[in-house]
Chain A
Amino acid sequence: MTDTTLPQSSRDAHDIAHLELVPRRHVGRMIFAAIVLLMVALLVRAFVVGQIEWPVVGQFLFAPVIIQGIWNTLLMTVAAMSLGIALGVLIAIMRISGNPVLEYIALVYVWIFRGAPALLQLLLWFNLALIFPTMGIPGLFEFNTVEVMTPFVAAMLGLGIQQGAYTSEVVRSGLLSVDAGQYEAARTIGMTGMQTLRRIVLPQAMRVMVPPVGNEVISMVKLTSLASVIQYSEILHNAQVIYYANTRVLELLMVASFWYLAIVTVLSLIQSRIERYYARGTRGRTTI
């Protein structure tokens, strides 16, 4: 370590200004990285030598029942999420409609369906026949609730309706994020309220809404596993059916984990594509 005070002669200063710059060495970082890598290696080793028979995992990874489960999981994700987004947009628009009755109903909807656990709501829908043995409009049509409330319908309603409560808040924050001047500009070119919403406000709100909605879609993929409780044949349920028969519990759970992770990975990639689409016209600001 030599002197770093301002040199007397400008010649010395010039010499110092042209010395080689050596970046700081992050010794602490390297030590921590080594420790973490070691821990990861130990964890991987534990799984490899543990009581899991990996060949069994490979054997069931593409079993027809599992593949069927994947399709059913995807189908339920799409069905429940579509219902959730439709309800979310509807409820969000009710919240800002200016009609006090609609606003209040929207508030109560969010309060109730966000307040009860998703699993409980699934069970309620599935057992709806206990409250209403038949449904319909008297004189027009009527059917037995048990026949209509299949595991698919019950899971879709249970998951979709509670999702609508969450999504409505996302949509509402998206609508609030659009500048009031945009509503006014749309008005001055003669647009009606619905045109303004559809053409001007929602496309801009999407930019704000896509990341949290993407998050919710991913969350929904995993939430559909709750439907296994009411006998809906999604991935987890089908994995369970197999391990009840062959007792390879951990192996089948690994198979299910693999597929959930695979689906979520693909969805994350799709999400970033969609985000890029709705970010058009904005200067990409991804760092602070």
Chain B
Amino acid sequence: MTSEILVKAVDVCKSFGTFKALQDVSLEVRKGEVSCIIGPSGSGKSTFLRCINLLERIDSGAIWANGELIGYRRDGNKLYEMSDAEIARQRRGIGMVFQRFNLFPHKTALENVVEGPVQVLGESPKAARDHALELLKRVGLADKAGSYPAELSGGQQQRVAIARAMGMRPSLILFDEPTSALDPELVAEVLDVMNDLAASGMTMIVVTHEMGFARNVSNTVAFMDGGRLIEHGPSARVLTQPDNPRTADFLKAVQR
């Protein structure tokens, strides 16, 4: 794959107090690529994902997304932190799907999808509504447009969350363990929607424990452990013939 680079992280470090969550993480994701980040709990996968859209502030290093340096403006030899409004603007192009869905409980499924396009992008309510209904149909929930999140199953909520992320017409969607909070029988419906999304050419970075998804859908797999990126490469190779013994151990443990 030789398309343009959409996300590039260079030597990203992040600490929580004395705990080093990320140490010199560097990664490239190209346009249209589906990249899975796997690794044991506490390895820094989610933290890294959250750094890409500035839910966490990095201590050092740099991240580019959509051709822009994220969170900072360069002036001479220094990087100056951006304002709230500028950061908000950068986040528009990066969708995110959370482990715990985080739908707005006081809004219906349709209102959840429409909220960003109308309030942030300034789309007309009519246009946003049409687009939102189309997206809800795409995730198989056209008939649930008027339902509140509390009336939906976990799988349905997560699909609405994916539609909400797509409503912003992002060039990239981040998935933070999107199926980890679901009952086992609801995992498939969410993965199906993600498969469709991948097939449509959406660039996706997916933190996951779903090895089947990593193997069958993703183009590349990154393995993280102890805050470091241990290995990154084509999924078929990383998952079957990893270079690093730690990757091999982890794969053995999760695949039994």
Cα distance, A194 to B232, chains bound together (Å): 39
Q: A193-B84, A195-B119 are in contact. Are A179 and B102 (CB under 8 A)?
A: yes
Tell me how far the C-beta of B172 lies from the nearest C-beta in chain A, rounded to whole angstroms. 12
Provide the residues of chain A in CB contact with B7, threshold 8 Å.
Answer: none
The verdict on B53 contacting chain A, using a C-beta distance below 8 Å, is: yes
For chain B, the count of residues having a C-beta within 8 Å of the partner chain is 33
The stretch that binds A, out of B61-69, B93-101, B135-143, is: B93-101
Q: Which A135-164 residues sit within 8 Å CB-CB of chain B?
A: none
The stretch that binds B, out of A88-96, A99-107, A182-190, is: A182-190
Provide the residues of chain A in CB contact with B84, threshold 8 Å.
Answer: 192-193
The dominant DSSP class at the A interface is helix
Tell me how far the C-beta of B90 lies from the nearest C-beta in chain A, rounded to whole angstroms. 8
Interface residue tally on A, bucketed by range? 20 to 34
Q: Which B103-157 residues sit within 8 Å CB-CB of chain A?
A: 103-108, 115-116, 119-121, 148-150
B102:A190 contact, CB within 8 angstroms: no
Tell me how far the C-beta of B173 lies from the nearest C-beta in chain A, rounded to whole angstroms. 10
Render B77-95 as a binary contact track against A, CB cut-off 8 A, 1 for contact: 0000000110011011011
B106:A280 contact, CB within 8 angstroms: yes
Q: Count how many pairs of residues, one from A and one from B, have CB atoms less than 8 Å apart in the complex.
A: 77
A181:B98 contact, CB within 8 angstroms: yes
Q: Which B162-201 residues sit within 8 Å CB-CB of chain A?
A: 164-165, 167-168
Tell me how far the C-beta of A129 lies from the nearest C-beta in chain B, rounded to whole angstroms. 44
Provide the residues of chain B in CB contact with A199, threshold 8 Å.
Answer: 115, 119
Question: Which of the residues B92, B98, B103, B104 comes within 8 Å of A190, measured between beta carbons?
Answer: B92
Tell me how far the C-beta of A277 lies from the nearest C-beta in chain B, rounded to whole angstroms. 10
Question: Which of the residues B85, B89, B120, B148 comes within 8 Å of A281, measured between beta carbons?
Answer: B148
B98:A184 contact, CB within 8 angstroms: yes
Tell me how far the C-beta of B11 lies from the nearest C-beta in chain A, rounded to whole angstroms. 25
Cα distance, A185 to B105, chains bound together (Å): 12
Provide the residues of chain A in CB contact with B10, threshold 8 Å.
Answer: none
Cα distance, A204 to B96, chains bound together (Å): 21
Per CB-CB distance, the 7 closest pairs between chain A and chain B, nearest first, are: A189-B116, A190-B92, A185-B102, A281-B148, A181-B102, A188-B96, A190-B120
Q: Footprint of B on A, CB under 8 Å?
A: 179, 181-182, 184-193, 195, 199-200, 203-204, 207, 278, 280-283
Q: Footprint of A on B, CB under 8 Å?
A: 53-55, 84-85, 88-89, 91-92, 94-96, 98, 100, 102-108, 115-116, 119-121, 148-150, 164-165, 167-168
